[in-house]
């Protein structure tokens, strides 16, 4: 008789475990309402690189100050840029990568040297040789208008592994001052987050 009782108890426990694992808790129909879909918050939707946000001399909806004004969110690309660009020191390419990797802007880590594509998103062809070549109404501070001043990118120059792309926001010369240079040369840096 003891074996029979043990068998019944074991079978009851197995059945109970099965029911709990494979069937949701039962309740009344009033307790169970269908899940309501949460609509996306528009300013949380990732930006599309295909959009163009127009700026003028008085306002630029493309850019928003973040991190207590230490950085700038680009709503067109989703990238976050350092707001203030230092005019010195200059760095070799490897030094520029390290400097951005160790940057702490706005009490945030996670910065990096931008790729050529990322830095080019800030380059604007402005009429009449206006420099720096940034969108009108931009909030950046310290970007050089000198055509001889370049900013490193993290992108190695195509076909020349000892060189990397650099970009000038100055007005003179080529409409787009994107050139390669030896990685041991020294240029300025402008760090970015995201991407």
* CATH of the domain spanning 60-195, picked from 3.10.100, 3.40.50, 3.30.1050, 2.60.120: 3.10.100
Q: Which residues are 117's β-sheet partners?
A: none
User: Region 72-85: what's the mean pLDDT?
Assistant: 94
**Helix (H/G/I), strand (E/B), else coil: 51:** coil
The alpha carbon dihedral of 125, 128, 134, 139 has a sign of negative
Q: What is the pLDDT of residue 42?
A: 46
Report the 10 Å Cβ neighbour count for 46. Answer: 7
* pLDDT tens string 134-190: 888 889 999 998 888 999 999 999 899 999 999 988 865 555 567 889 999 999 999
d(CA 63, CA 137): 9
Cβ–Cβ < 8 Å for 25, 53: no
Q: What is the pLDDT of residue 133?
A: 83
What are the two backbone dihedrals, phi and then psi, of residue 21, each rounded to the nearest 5 degrees?
A: -75, -35
Cβ–Cβ < 8 Å for 167, 120: yes
Model pTM score: 0.70
User: Region 124-143: what's the mean pLDDT?
Assistant: 78
Domain ranges in the chain?
60-195
pLDDT bucket at 67, cuts 50 / 70 / 90: very high
How big, in percent rounded to 5, are the helix, strand and coil portions of the chain? 20, 20, 60
């Amino acid at each position: 008789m003891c074996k029979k009782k043990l068998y019944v108890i074991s079978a009851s426990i197995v059945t109970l475990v099965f029911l709990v694992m494979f069937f949701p808790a039962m309740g009344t129909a009033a307790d169970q309402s269908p899940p309501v879909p949460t609509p996306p918050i528009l300013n949380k939707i990732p930006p599309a690189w295909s959009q163009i946000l127009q700026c003028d001399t008085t306002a630029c909806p493309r850019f928003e100050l973040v991190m207590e004004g230490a950085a700038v969110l680009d709503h067109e690309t989703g990238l976050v840029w350092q707001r203030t660009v230092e005019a010195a020191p200059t760095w070799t390419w490897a030094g520029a990568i390290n400097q951005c990797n160790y940057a702490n802007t706005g009490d945030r880590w996670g910065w990096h040297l931008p790729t050529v594509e990322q830095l080019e998103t800030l380059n604007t062809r402005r009429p009449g040789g206006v420099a720096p070549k940034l969108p009108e109404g931009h909030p950046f501070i310290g970007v050089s208008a000198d055509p001889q001043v370049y900013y490193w990118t993290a992108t190695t120059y195509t076909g020349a592994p000892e060189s990397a792309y650099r970009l000038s926001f100055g007005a003179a010369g080529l409409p787009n001052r994107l050139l390669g240079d030896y990685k041991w040369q020294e240029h300025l840096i402008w760090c970015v987050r995201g991407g």
